[in-house]
Chains A and B, each alone.
Chain A
């Protein structure tokens, strides 16, 4: 085990030495990888912020529950209890039929018209906000509530939610497609870098094999080099995005102030950064693994 660790430490030291001795080339390569990665990560960031902006402007979709016109106080209380204990309901409020009637008469200037009606035609109602914004969940909640006793009609305006979500969905798919394509580009870039390194160290590889180096021994430094290129590129992408976000926030702050909003772009969160760095490291490793394996199989 100790032996194994020291072999890895030695390989890592060798690679870091080499990267240090070719600082400029390494830095350029990391920038290329960083720029490549910052495209999908940046688009993700934009979508994430767009989603937050949309969520901030419009409150959650609202479900209106209209009770039967002759619903008793007991029915109202029972429904109130059901809503309070329901785990998908975020909050709700009761609108009594008398209060609604009074409000309608006053608000719409319908006094005359209303005066012509003998009875209050409005039912009691609950206005419910769901915990989730997803159309499927809300639709499910609507159908469930519609089954409850004393409910006449459940109304839900999901059109805009659906529209927003399908737009964001398209955006997310675009992120995936872009990430897939640029991930492939990253694989090719790292693979090619490692291939060139292999060519410059061909003699060393040949001698090492002749005096008994295993394929794993030969592969090891290149795998470290590939992983480090990937990780360095991921960090470069992260820094690029952080810089861009900070820069944009200066002007966004001005615009937002005009709209009396405190909206600001948020940076990638910890989990996303971890995925970005982990993914880029993995792609770097894979790119160099493919390059070395191809070389090793070509010389046997």
Chain B
């Protein structure tokens, strides 16, 4: 499903974020990307989600070479993914409902169908009944769950999360991780970047370890 072959990413200015990275993630697999901060975890996720393009090697997503996509095809590629960003990237001038409905509008799903899916997504993350609330009034854990609801509302086959438990205390972090495990249980491919060794040790999932832009395992 996702295949990296000797992938390198050199940012303008000469900073080499990744070099010679090769791995494969199968459909429905749960994978962790780990390493110290600055090891290239975020860059790796951005390459998977077609937000960045590799400067060396090939990135194949479902047999499509990301580097060779036409610019007009990239938005359609990105819709295959549900993204949970490190900094949430919630829209603070819109309420919970409008935040979650955005990916559906981008996919052209409107009206009752959209409302139904938004409620289903909010129900899954335990935020049902907070549709009208503004994100700023939510706690850190709730904001993270809102970000997850937005990532899963269009039912992507791949869920990508960048440090989803980074700023949360242990109880909240466990709740969030259980959410991701639940999505993995129903067949979604889940890829999580985390520097938190404890969450990974418990799971027994595939682990991609990065050190200064290179894979160590």
Contact = CB atoms under 8 A, between A and B. Distances in A.
A212 B76 contact: yes
A217 interface: yes
Given A203-B91, A206-B89, A211 B105 contact: no
A87 B192 CA distance: 86
B83 A211 contact: yes
A139 interface: no
A214 B75 CA distance: 6
B102 A208 contact: yes
Contact of B106 (A3, A6, A206, A213): A213
Contacts of B49: 210
A207 interface: yes
A3 B111 CA distance: 11
B150 to A, nearest CB: 8
Interface string B95-116: 0000000110111101100000
Given A210-B89, A211-B103, A214-B75, 7 more contacts: A6-B111, A203-B89, A210-B83, A210-B85, A211-B78, A212-B78, A215-B75
A210 B51 contact: yes
Interface in A191-250: 203-204, 206-215, 217
A213 B51 CA distance: 12
With most chain A CB atoms within 10 A of its CB, the pick from B76, B81, B110 is B110
Given A203-B89, A203-B91, A211 B110 contact: no
13 contacts: A3-B108, A6-B108, A203-B91, A206-B89, A207-B102, A208-B102, A211-B79, A211-B103, A212-B78, A214-B75, A215-B75, A217-B75, A300-B71
Q: Which 10 A-B pairs have the closest CB atoms?
A: A212-B79, A212-B78, A214-B75, A213-B106, A212-B75, A207-B89, A6-B110, A211-B103, A3-B108, A204-B91
With most chain B CB atoms within 10 A of its CB, the pick from A7, A207, A210, A212 is A212
A209 B89 CA distance: 12
Nearest to A217: B106
Contacts of B93: 204
Interface of A is mostly: helix
A111 interface: no
A185 B75 CA distance: 35
Contact of B110 (A10, A207, A208, A210): A10
Contact of B75 (A3, A213, A300): A213
B186 interface: no
A80 B202 CA distance: 112
Interface residues of B, number: 25
Interface of A: 3, 6-7, 10, 203-204, 206-215, 217, 300
Given A10-B105, A203-B89, A203-B91, A209 B75 contact: yes
Contacts of B106: 208, 211-213, 217
B201 interface: no
Nearest to A3: B108
Contacts of B79: 211-212
Contacts of A300: 71
Contacts of B150: 211
Nearest to B76: A212
Contacts of A217: 75, 106
Nearest to B79: A212
A257 B216 CA distance: 99
Interface in B49-103: 49, 51, 71-72, 75-79, 81, 83, 85, 89, 91, 93-94, 102-103
Contacts of A206: 89
Nearest to B151: A211
A211 B101 CA distance: 12
Contact of A214 (B72, B91, B102): B72
Given A6-B110, A10-B110, A203-B91, A210 B105 contact: no
A210 B74 CA distance: 10
Contacts of A3: 108
A224 to B, nearest CB: 14
A22 B49 CA distance: 36
